[in-house]
Amino acid sequence: MASQRESRVSKSRGGLAIPAIVLVVVATLGVFLWSRGDLNSLICDGDCGPSNVIPPRALTTDSVPALATPGRRSPGDIDPAKLSAAVAPALKASALGARVGFSALTPANAARVASSGAGAYVPASTTKLLTGFAALSLIDPQTRFTTRVVGSGDRIVLVGGGDPYLAVRKSRTDDRVVRADLATLAKRTTAALKKSGTTTVRLGFDASLFTGPDASPAWEPTYVSQNIVTPVSALWADQGVQNGIRAKDPAASAARTFADLLESRGITVTGDPARTSAPDGTTVLGMVRSATVAQIIETLIRTSDNQASEVMLRQLAITADEPASFDGGTKAVTDVLDAADIDTTGLVLRDGSGLSRRNRISPLTLAQTVGLSASTPRTSGLVSDLPVSGFTGTLIGRFGRLPSALGTVRAKTGTLTGVHSLAGYALDADGRPVAFAVMADRTDKAAPLEAQAALDKVAAAIAACSCG
């Protein structure tokens, strides 16, 4: 009997061991696929966002530039000749066209280790790196912008505070950048009005925080008319987009929506909302506050948000005591770069988003901006904001066929017709961080994907290089 029991127990243990082994294999495979980004589409419906991505080794804000630790051998310095030789074939790709610029430096000491091409280039959305760096440099990263309603008696005014992500209603997803919404503001305003016995009001709206033109003269004239961008405003909701259509007057549109929300809560709004200036000394009836500047910059860099970039350009202009306009904002950015001793040779800025083809930035300016951002606590978040190759933001669908660079590059993309750029960080094969920028502004307009792939190969060449 004893031998039969022992036999049954032994068989049972064997049966349990097989599922356990299978679970270990599945878990290991799952971790491997997750680390490569292959599960993004299943788990996150695409972009998993920085909070859900396993940080690439040595490419996080607390380890870039890499710091020597006891018992850990430093990989040493980058050999400029090896790095130049590694990227040279990729820079000669025909898909990049006849005008290609490249710059690379070591973030620890800002020493330039490789460069090619001359002058400044059309940067497209890599312009946002300068906007983000300047905003984090000038504005306390924990700052929030307030949208409020003020008034007395039966006259109230909706006052825009320049929240780039003010929404009509709260997001149903866990989107930390959408913190303020008109529905909540209407609820709070209604409570204050009814408490004072007011149920009928006239509504005005004030978007005077920003000045100057609401569309850059340096943009293509069709950007607004063809529903590509919303005119820049200190007051809008959902960036002025409703049913896929961008409002020509986003402040007035937001005010009409707010009037409807008040009406739905029992407040009668007489007449149409009128543009006005909020009088001094009036009572605040309700307010909502935006996400922090740090959260706003993270989102606009990761998603390459043109609208938010232009709002933040004006916010940093206000902090710099410049006019809250395209000119005031770009001057503030240039002043920040100069104060940081970043090379601005050839720099021309006409906006904060990179939509203008009149912008000019050199690869060295971009590489230095990225490198310097990692070295100061106030701006270090800009590095972690950058999309991760194959994982987040504008780099989700890229680097899939370049395993050496998958998850080891953080970079901002830039794309206009015939213009392609990439700027950020890459780790070489031994873990040495390299800040780089590669720019091409005369590519074949009919082959944008080929140009993007060619840029990725430049970054991949850094990642595959044992450049010490």
Q: Is the same domain home to 156 and 282?
A: yes
Give the pLDDT of residue 109: 77
Q: Is the same domain home to 153 and 284?
A: yes
Give the pLDDT of residue 459: 97
Q: Does residue 317 form part of some domain?
A: no
Positive or negative, the CA dihedral 376, 428, 124, 244 is negative
Residue 266 has pLDDT above 50, yes or no: yes
Q: Is 0.95 surpassed by the pTM of this model?
A: no
Query: Is residue 175 helix, strand or coil?
Result: coil
Give the pLDDT of residue 329: 98
Question: Is there a contact between 146 and 206 (Cβ–Cβ < 8 Å)?
Answer: no
Strand partners, 203: 156
Give the pLDDT of residue 456: 98
User: How does pLDDT run across 106-164, given as a tens digit for each residue?
Assistant: 987 788 899 999 999 999 999 999 999 999 999 999 999 999 999 988 999 999 999 99
Q: Is the same domain home to 73 and 204?
A: no
User: How does pLDDT run across 429-447, given as a tens digit for each residue?
Assistant: 999 999 999 999 999 999 9
Residue 14 has pLDDT above 80, yes or no: no
Residue 24 has pLDDT above 60, yes or no: no
Q: Does residue 47 form part of some domain?
A: no
Q: Is the same domain home to 279 and 172?
A: yes
Q: Is the same domain home to 81 and 177?
A: no
Give the pLDDT of residue 108: 78
Question: Is there a contact between 282 and 152 (Cβ–Cβ < 8 Å)?
Answer: yes
Q: Which of 370, 440, 438 is nearest to 115 (CA)?
A: 438
User: Confidence class of residue 20 from pLDDT cuts 50, 70 and 90?
Assistant: low
Q: Does residue 133 form part of some domain?
A: yes
CATH number, position 209: 3.50.80.20
Q: Give the count of domains, the chain.
A: 3
Residue 193 has pLDDT above 60, yes or no: yes
User: Confidence class of residue 19 from pLDDT cuts 50, 70 and 90?
Assistant: low
Please give the residue range of the domain that contains residue 10. Answer: 2-36
Q: Is the same domain home to 134 and 150?
A: no
Question: Is there a contact between 97 and 442 (Cβ–Cβ < 8 Å)?
Answer: yes
Q: Are strands 241-242 and 200-206 parallel, antiparallel or unpaired?
A: unpaired
User: How does pLDDT run across 393-411, given as a tens digit for each residue?
Assistant: 999 999 989 998 999 999 9
Measured CA angle at 423 (ends 338, 176), to 5 deg: 90
Of the chain, the percentage scoring pLDDT greater than 70 comes to 84
